[in-house]
Structure 1
Amino acid sequence: MKNPRWRARKRKVAKRLFPLFAPLIFSPMAAPISSSAAKTKTKKTTKASVSNYKIMQFDQVAYSLYNEMGLRQAGLKYEIFTKALTGYYNMKHQGKLSGKPVLTMVDFTKSSTKKRLWVVDIEKKELLHHTYVAHGRNSGEEFAENFSNENKSFMSSIGFYVTQNTYQGKHGLSLKLEGVDEGFNTNAMERCIVIHGAEYASPKFIDQAGRLGRSLGCPALPMEEHEEIINTVVGETAMYVHAKNDDYTSNYLDHATAMAEVVNGNPNNALPPNTDVSI
């Protein structure tokens, strides 16, 4: 006859183990994964891993350039720079840009009383210009908050642009812009959205009105700087206008394509030291 203490101990052990094995006892047996499904899952996982790796690589390139050009000290947020740089390389990959390694960025999340336009040389890793820029009169007062691609909206348009040729207009030397983000700025040429100089885009106007003056939608620059900036960026160079807009999407924000262009285009100038570009 078995010892009662031994039986009691056996019941205790069973109670402890029951919660661990209950799911296996009562749940239905999982169906085996087919070899084709397993291969598909492996391919997806591999593709995602490669994509994430390229994003990490591109982030290395972008952060290195950002630091070398002193853009944090110049007030440009890194998240804006990396978006602009991604678009730059995507547009370059598609043959939309000339050989000039120039990138213009505008941050419309900043007050118009702040300098919110930057022009950089990607190859020389230099900040070329940093100044004020006006937004459209129907986009907002001190801050640009509303944007449109529609004619006669008198609002600014956001997204990626390619600079075109210059002409002499009522504001003097002016530069045409081609919007390349469908639904956001592709009517820029029709709307005559151009870079030009304006008396109201100046610190003096800010002192008088408490904000920068506003345009009919054009990114207007200070009169004493606009000609030099236009001559720097003219001729199929990239421009990115950033704003707080949850609806904004762009085909030019593909990191994998951008990284491929970095590697194939000009790796010696673009890549930071010790960057692994193998996949």
Structure 2
Amino acid sequence: MKKVLLSLLTVLFFATSFHKIKSTEKKFSKNFLKPRTENPLPKESPRSVGSYAEEIYNSINFEHFNQLQSEVFQKAYLGFANLKREGKLNEDSHLLTICDFSLSSTQKRLWVIDLNEKKVVYNSLVAHGKNTGEEFAQKFSNTESSLQSSIGFYVTENTYNGSNGYSLKLLGMDAGYNDAALQRAIVMHGADYVSEDFIKNQKRLGRSWGCPAIPRALAEPIINTIKGKSCLFIYYPDHQYLSSSKWLKTEENI
């Protein structure tokens, strides 16, 4: 009788242990295969467009170039970020071209900046429109045949060969300020009157019919660098424009 009882207890022990093992395996398997919804790593604190702009600007070496004003770069970068966020620029867009028309036309007031490399790619003379001013730009227009420059943000388009040689179409993104650029044929092109020799003779740079004209020798390399949906910002301290442009609205975290 004792032997029978001992045998029954042994069988019961192993059966119970096996059930517990299977139960544990099933529970482990279920938890292991269950997708994890929580983020295993803490999220990085959001950074503003302004902080990115400041970091990039402070990293750029202007030693061999004309110094771009920090305030102008901040505005240009804010517009660039907003244009990119709305899909107006390519996802991998990293070039920002800035014309500071608050400066004398005798200065190199155009910069092409590589935001990834944090460096100036080109720094060049650039002309404003004939009816925009003499040495300094003062008046701007979005009107056909005004022969004036237009301020604001542009997206670069495709190239063509026209009466001014190799040229780059520009799509104006600021309604009422430069959105008539295509119909006005406001393009980037090279010109002989954009040169140091012209400045020596005339005490100012030559003027265009409203186009941001650049030196003939730099036209092809600059245009080929920035063509195809990159950002161009023509700056002037016009308070009405700066307060109304949708691309310069309050910074958002990115």
Pairwise same-fold verdict (TM > 0.5): yes
Q: What's the TM-score, normalizing by structure 2?
A: 0.78
Equivalent of 1:126 in 105, 119, 129: 119
SS of residue matched to 2:184: coil
Q: Please give the residue correspondences for 1:1-279 in structure 2 after superposition, counting only pairs within 5 Å.
A: 57-71=48-62, 74-98=66-90, 99-248=92-241, 249-257=244-252, 259-260=253-254
Counterpart-to-counterpart distance in 2, 1:175 and 1:193: 9
Larger Rg: 2
Counterpart-to-counterpart distance in 2, 1:95 and 1:71: 30
RMSD of aligned C-alpha atoms?
1.6
Q: Which amino acid letter does the alignment assign opposite residue 248 of structure 2?
A: L
Q: What's the TM-score, normalizing by structure 1?
A: 0.71
Distance apart, 1:76 and its partner CA: 0.6
Q: Quote the residue 1:265 is aligned against.
A: none
Counterpart-to-counterpart distance in 2, 1:71 and 1:186: 32
SS of residue matched to 1:142: coil
SS of residue matched to 2:248: coil
Contact 1:58 1:255 in 2 (8 A): no
Contact 1:121 1:128 in 2 (8 A): yes
Counterpart-to-counterpart distance in 1, 2:172 and 2:101: 17
Counterpart-to-counterpart distance in 1, 2:251 and 2:202: 45
Count of residue pairs brought into register by the alignment: 206
Counterpart-to-counterpart distance in 1, 2:251 and 2:102: 27
Counterpart-to-counterpart distance in 2, 1:207 and 1:100: 37
Q: Which amino acid letter does the alignment assign opposite residue 209 of structure 2?
A: L
Q: Which amino acid letter does the alignment assign opposite residue 69 of structure 1?
A: I
Counterpart-to-counterpart distance in 2, 1:62 and 1:102: 13
Distance apart, 1:59 and its partner CA: 2.7
Q: Which amino acid letter does the alignment assign opposite residue 240 of structure 1?
A: F
Distance apart, 1:126 and its partner CA: 1.6
Deviation string for 1:102-137 (max 9, x for gaps)?
110000000000000000111121210000000000
Distance apart, 1:255 and its partner CA: 4.1
Deviation string for 1:206-259 (max 9, x for gaps)?
0110000000000000011111000000000001100121211210113434x3
Deviation string for 1:56-78 (max 9, x for gaps)?
83332211111111248632101
**Any gaps of 5 or more consecutive residues in structure 2?**
1-44
SS of residue matched to 2:48: helix
Q: Which amino acid letter does the alignment assign opposite residue 79 of structure 2?
A: G
Deviation string for 1:12-53 (max 9, x for gaps)?
xxxxxxxxxxxxxxxxxxxxxxxxxxxxxxxxxxxxxxxxx9
Counterpart-to-counterpart distance in 1, 2:77 and 2:250: 10
Q: Which amino acid letter does the alignment assign opposite residue 55 of structure 2?
A: S
SS of residue matched to 2:183: coil
Distance apart, 1:145 and its partner CA: 0.3
Report sequence identity in percent: 45
Contact 1:101 1:121 in 2 (8 A): yes
Counterpart-to-counterpart distance in 2, 1:71 and 1:61: 18
Compared CA separation, residues 141 and 206, structure 1 to 2 (3 A): same
Counterpart-to-counterpart distance in 2, 1:100 and 1:84: 14
